[in-house]
């Protein structure tokens, strides 16, 4: 897995988290479009004049790619949350010294 930028201070992590949340909302919108594509494809596969094997292949490939992409988004979000927790703890420790 590729390492990402999770910030170098609590304030930078918070800024990145804000931008990330906006990105996740956009990705959720795309998720709806992917679901529409799959629903349309499933209707098309019922038409005997169309190549349902090819359609099924495209649907499966789209779902696989989407899951991979969306999982990477989720993993980045988890790492970003860990980074925020680290800097919160770091800040707590350094203020007590």
Tens digits of per-residue pLDDT, 23-42? 999 999 999 999 999 999 98
**d(C-alpha 25, C-alpha 19), whole Å:** 10
Q: What is the pTM of this model?
A: 0.75
**Is residue 66 over pLDDT 50?**
yes
Candidates 65, 90, 85, 73; CA nearest to 19 is: 73
The reply to whether 3 falls in a domain is: no
Number of domains in the chain: 1
Residue 52 lies in a domain: yes
Q: Which domain holds residue 66?
A: 10-92
Residue 66 lies in a domain: yes
Residue 16 near residue 80, CB atoms below 8 Å: yes
Interval 84-88 mean pLDDT = 93
Residue 53 in any domain: the answer is yes
Phi-psi category of residue 7: left, alpha or beta, with phi > 0 → left and psi -120 to 50 → alpha: left
Looking at the domain assignment, is residue 1 inside a domain?
no
Mean of per-residue pLDDT scores for the chain: 90
- Tell whether 97 is covered by a domain: no
Model confidence at 1, pLDDT cuts 50, 70, 90, reads very low
């Amino acid at each position: 897995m590729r390492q990402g930028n999770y910030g170098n201070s609590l304030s930078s992590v918070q800024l990145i988290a804000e931008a990330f949340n906006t990105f996740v909302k956009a990705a959720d919108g795309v998720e709806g479009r992917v679901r529409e594509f799959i629903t349309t494809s499933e209707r098309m596969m019922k038409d005997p004049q169309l190549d349902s094997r090819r359609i099924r292949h495209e649907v499966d490939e789209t779902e696989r790619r989407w899951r991979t992409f969306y999982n990477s988004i989720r993993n980045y979000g988890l790492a970003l949350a860990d980074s925020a927790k680290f800097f919160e703890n770091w800040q707590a420790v350094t203020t007590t010294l």
